[in-house]
Amino acid sequence: MSGVPASEDATPTAAAHPVLELRGITVRHGNVPALNRVSAALPGGRITCVLGENGSGKSTLVSVLSGLQRYDEGELRVDGVPVRFRSARQARDLGIATVWQDLAVAPLLSVWRNFFLGVEPTRGVWPLRRLDIAGARQTTVRALARVGISGLDPDQPASSLQAGERQSLAVARALHFGARALVIDEPVTPMTVARQTLFGQAVLAARAQGLAVVVVTNNPRYAHLIGDRFLLLAHGQVAGSLTRDDVDADDLTALMAGGEQLTTLTDALTELHPELGDR
């Protein structure tokens, strides 16, 4: 698994507008801002890792992008067009797929059934139309191979999938059904190195297909391994917006610890880019 960012010239979505863009997004819970004037561009063909302590606003950001949380101020744009989601369904219809940290599957159903849940393929014409089981199995196997999973029996129950495999299944499903942006909330269940590698392959496959990938994580070293860009949140505000050229894994780890270094970074970035202070 390579952590090297995709080439700018090779990026299939080097378009005029980022796939997703937040402009001064503010979300209040009563008088307390969960997000305070957050701005970020999330381009296609890039992995943006969102990092921050608990309570920094990461979960609220995921909810805004996924259509579950309405914002009080600011603007959310998809391909440069302002949108205001009223439901998660509207976000999905515009190609924003979310992989939740507590991702649930229908445990007694097979892998292929979970892959096509609600959109099962059929063959034939009415009244002889029937479920295309063979086609569904083949499609599931191909889609999983696309994200680096091979040798998985599509007929095995979903309950047999381990952490990493469930998330990879969700990524494969999103790619198959035409998602343009992928928002991944870091799994709660700890993953072994092998499972993290497996999941990382799926994330990198999504990037290679030109999706705007957003990974919310508390692991700065893993973030630096797979990420192209890093959005640091603190107390609901953007504390840093960096690229792999700006920091190495040790720098990112130190910044995640917060304190004086994060304050220094914020001050330095604000001095170089005054517009950050207006967020």
pLDDT tens for 20-57 read 999 999 999 988 899 999 999 999 999 999 998 888 99
φ and ψ of 79, to 5 deg = 55, 35
Mode of pairing for the β-strands spanning 46-51 and 212-216: parallel
pLDDT digits (tens, 9 = 90+) for 263-277: 555 556 556 655 544
Q: What percent of the chain has pLDDT over 90?
A: 56
pLDDT digits (tens, 9 = 90+) for 77-91: 999 999 999 999 999
For residue 149, pLDDT over 60 is answered with: yes
For residue 196, pLDDT over 50 is answered with: yes
For residue 253, the model assigns a pLDDT of 86
For residue 267, the model assigns a pLDDT of 58
Angle at which helices 259-272 and 249-256 pack, to 10 degrees? 110
For residue 12, the model assigns a pLDDT of 42
pLDDT digits (tens, 9 = 90+) for 58-107: 999 999 999 999 999 999 999 999 999 999 999 999 999 999 877 778 88
CATH 3.40.50.300 maps onto the chain at: 44-69+86-105+180-278
For residue 2, pLDDT over 50 is answered with: no
Average pLDDT over residues 168-185: 94
For residue 278, pLDDT over 90 is answered with: no
What confidence tier does 4 reach under pLDDT thresholds 50, 70, 90? very low
Can the peptide bond before residue 127 be classed as cis, meaning omega within 30 degrees of 0? yes
Smallest CA-to-CA distance from 230 within 122, 221, 15 is with 221
What confidence tier does 13 reach under pLDDT thresholds 50, 70, 90? very low
Average pLDDT over residues 230-256: 90
**Cβ-proximal residues to 197 (8 Å cutoff; 6+ apart), any chain:** 1
> Is residue 219 exposed (0-12), middle (13-18) or buried (19+ Cβ within 10 Å)?
middle
For the structural domain made of 44-69+86-105+180-278, what CATH number should be given? 3.40.50.300
